[in-house]
Amino acid sequence: MSQASASRRPLKVLLATPRGFCAGVDRAIQIVERAIEKYGAPVYVRHEIVHNRHVVDGLKDLGAVFVEELSECPTDRPVVFSAHGVPKSVPAEAREREMIYLDATCPLVSKVHVEAQRHYDAGKEIVLIGHAGHPEVVGTMGQLPDGVVKLIETVEDARAFTPKDPANVAFATQTTLSVDDTAEIVAALRERFPEIAAPHKEDICYATTNRQDAVKAVAAQAEVLLVLGSSNSSNSVRLVEVGRRSGAKAAYLIDDAGKLDFGWLDGVSAVGVTAGASAPEVLVQGLIDRLAEAFDVTVQNVDTVQETVSFKLPRKLTADA
């Protein structure tokens, strides 16, 4: 052992598994990459394909151009809709303008869209549990006419909501919420409306649930939790919240290793590390390497569940393959 490594304080890194990319994010990124291969650059992307700066910057380097509205896209270039989903008006506008478009909406978000439509067709009054302004919420509410879906963000909202007919209510949820927070809101709704119609299968996606469960397992053993992800990533922000509630004395959301403050680790012997569903694994390795510059690091995997989910790419991208 070198003198430098001998002088470094030991630090156990508890690595949450699963972490990082989910199947929906992986599919969305592949759709942009394959579209650039097939159609050449530039390919336009409406909204960030996923909420991660490193992913977005990498796709920009390949020839993706990110815009907020379809009106910013020329009609002679393909456009990709982000993994978060879009209101029905967006593909309708693309068809009207005779554009080539590829929908990278996560299939689990599309499932929520289908459920909302089903409830609407059945004459139900619909509430959506989610965060105002999040692209997924905008997309889900935009599946139905304006004002049809009521947004509920908190237990207080659930208690204040007054439907026209308490016996004819249904709920759906954003896919990237805190499992525990959402359970409290649903419980408040069920208490008031025992007949409320629920999703056939929980709307919070498998990846969100699995990553939160993994953080709970890590936070029970770690003094500090480091979550790699962007501040506009809902699932990443939720991981920080779950970590703080589950035993970690502190939890921090960081874009990458460069944002690590070693002061957070003063007196700490075990640090938890995870990554949000839109954060690439290279960021995790970069953080471990940075920690190894200052500490004698040992890495221990904390495995909770094995993920095997994958989603098919759109036929437009596979037909000629």
**Active-site amino acid positions:** 136
| Neighbouring-strand partners of residue 296 | 10
Nearest to 158 by CA among 131, 186, 130, 197: 186
The token duo for 253 is 């959301």
Strands 9-17, 295-303: pairing kind:
parallel
* Residue 317 phi, psi (nearest 5): -95, -15
Task: For the beta carbon of residue 272, count every other beta carbon within 10 angstroms.
Answer: 28
Q: What is the dihedral of CA 243, 248, 250, 256, to 10 degrees?
A: -60
| Exposure class string for 237-246: b at 16+ Cβ within 10 A, else e | bbbbbbbbeb
Counting Cα atoms < 13 Å in the Cβ hemisphere of 290 gives: 16
DSSP 185-219: HHHHHHHH-TT-B--SS-SS-HHHHHHHHHHHHHH
Counting Cα atoms < 13 Å in the Cβ hemisphere of 296 gives: 10
Distance CA 275, CA 16 (A): 8
171 by DSSP, 3-state: which? strand
